[in-house]
Amino acid sequence: MWDYSDKVKEHFFNPKNAGAVVDANATGEVGSISCGDALRLTLKVEEETEVILEAGFQTFGCGSAIASSSVLTEIIKGMTLDEALKVTNQDIADHLEGLPPEKMHCSVMGREALQAAIANYRGEEWADDHAEGALVCKCFAIDAVMIEEMVWANKLRTVQDVTNFTKAGGGCAACHEDIEAILEKVLAEKGEKFDPEAAPVGKPVVAEVKLPLTNLQRIKKIEQVLESLRPSLMADGGDVELVEVIGNTAYVNMTGACSGCQMAAMTIAGIQQRLMEVMGEFIKVVPASEMKKLVNIEVA
Which positions are catalytic?
Answer: 35, 106
186 neighbors 121 (Cβ within 8 angstroms): no
* Rounded Cα–Cα distance for residues 191 and 194 (Å): 10
Q: What is the DSSP string of 152-211?
A: HHHT--SHHHHHHHH-TTSSS-TTHHHHHHHHHHHHHHTT----TTPPPSSPPPPPP--P
215, burial (CB in 10 Å: exposed 0-12, middle 13-18, buried 19+): exposed
Q: What 3-state DSSP class applies to 270?
A: helix
- With left for phi above 0 and alpha for psi between -120 and 50, is residue 124 left, alpha or beta? beta
Alpha-carbon dihedral sign for residues 63, 175, 127, 133: positive
Q: What 3-state DSSP class applies to 50?
A: coil
209, burial (CB in 10 Å: exposed 0-12, middle 13-18, buried 19+): exposed
